[in-house]
């Protein structure tokens, strides 16, 4: 039976580390601050924003929320981002996805000062990641690396398979695995013989967003299986991409859903906010 990787426990350690760094910064008169912008009334987005505010409280990070109506225009949003870029109390800016129809997310991301882009979505930060010279680590992929390390999984020299090629998870996940000296294959909807490729993986990361997509017969015995999926099954229950009951019997270690990757994303956001505060006050790399 596979080791269950406890994302809540690992996330608590990351947040504790961020809290220690925040306390040290406060002694120097520096308070990390996170601004979260939410547009409209998407229920899932509201839950995520509340969780981020709670994490800020736990780590001692100052937070501001900007809850805007559905009819907010692109110009109004860009003006808000510009104000937050110039606001000294704000170290990091996060615009919660998804945005209502008619709003262009890419333009908003590009409007954020790269040194306040704690999601690491700005093209500048994406480029730095490609070069291995990143300022911020993208939150979910960085959380996955932390989980693998916590479970004692050696990445160097291992065959790693990432299912999904999104800008948010799949692509940066591949880059971080490569930076850790893994040999990476990225699979997607047009990949042929997907099951065969997955069965070769020592580390399998699924970020495809389809319930039950990864079955037990796609997993190499003893592999590390990381499930980034956040889906609902036919009964409305939260589940991942992986058929957990099957995979748990074959894998060496595995993340559950919920309680796996999810808590890590917010924990890494806290870490990025602390890093941003340091950079903006001349502490660390520029």
Q: Which residues are annotated as a binding site?
A: 164-166
- Which pLDDT score is estimated for 165? 97
Domains of the chain, first to last: 30-113 (3.40.50.10860), 139-262 (3.40.50.720)
For the record, the structure tokens of 179 come out as 């930076």
| Average pLDDT, 10 consecutive residues per value, the chain (286 residues) | 97 98 98 97 92 97 97 97 98 96 95 98 97 95 98 98 97 98 96 98 97 97 97 91 98 97 97 98 75
Annotated binding-site residues for NADP(+) read 164-166
pLDDT at position 285, please?
Answer: 54
Determine contact, residues 173/162, Cβ cutoff 8 Å.
yes
Active site residues: 52, 96, 119
Of 240, 170, 244, nearest to 211 by C-alpha is: 240
3-class SS letters over 79-112:
HHHHHHHCCCCCCEEEECCCCCCCCCHHHHHHHC
Amino acid 233: pLDDT? 87
């Amino acid at each position: 039976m596979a080791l269950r990787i406890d994302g809540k426990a690992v996330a608590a350690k990351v947040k504790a580390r961020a809290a220690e760094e925040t306390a040290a910064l406060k002694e120097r008169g520096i308070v990390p601050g996170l601004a979260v912008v939410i547009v409209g009334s998407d229920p899932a987005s509201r839950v995520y924003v509340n969780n981020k505010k709670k994490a800020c409280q736990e780590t001692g990070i100052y937070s501001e929320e900007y809850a805007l109506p559905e009819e907010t225009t692109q110009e109004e949003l860009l003006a808000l981002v510009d104000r937050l870029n110039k606001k000294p109390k704000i170290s990091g800016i996060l615009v919660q996805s998804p945005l209502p129809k008619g709003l262009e997310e890419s333009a908003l991301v590009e409007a954020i000062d790269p040194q306040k882009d704690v999601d690491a979505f700005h093209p500048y930060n994406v480029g730095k990641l490609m070069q291995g010279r990143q300022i911020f680590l993208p939150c979910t992929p960085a959380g996955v690396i932390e989980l693998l390390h916590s479970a004692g999984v050696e990445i160097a020299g291992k065959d790693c398979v990432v299912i999904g090629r999104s800008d948010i998870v799949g692509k940066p996940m591949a880059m971080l695995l490569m930076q850790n000296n893994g040999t990476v294959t990225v699979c997607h909807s047009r990949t042929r013989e997907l099951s065969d490729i997955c069965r070769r993986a020592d580390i399998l990361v699924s970020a495809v967003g389809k319930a039950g997509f990864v079955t037990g017969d796609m997993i190499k015995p003893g592999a590390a299986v990381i499930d980034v999926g956040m889906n609902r099954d036919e009964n409305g229950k939260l589940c991942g991409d992986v058929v957990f009951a099957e995979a748990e019997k074959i894998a060496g270690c595995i993340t559950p859903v919920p309680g796996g990757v999810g808590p890590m994303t917010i924990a890494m956001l806290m870490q990025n906010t602390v890093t941003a505060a340091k950079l903006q006050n001349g502490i660390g790399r520029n």
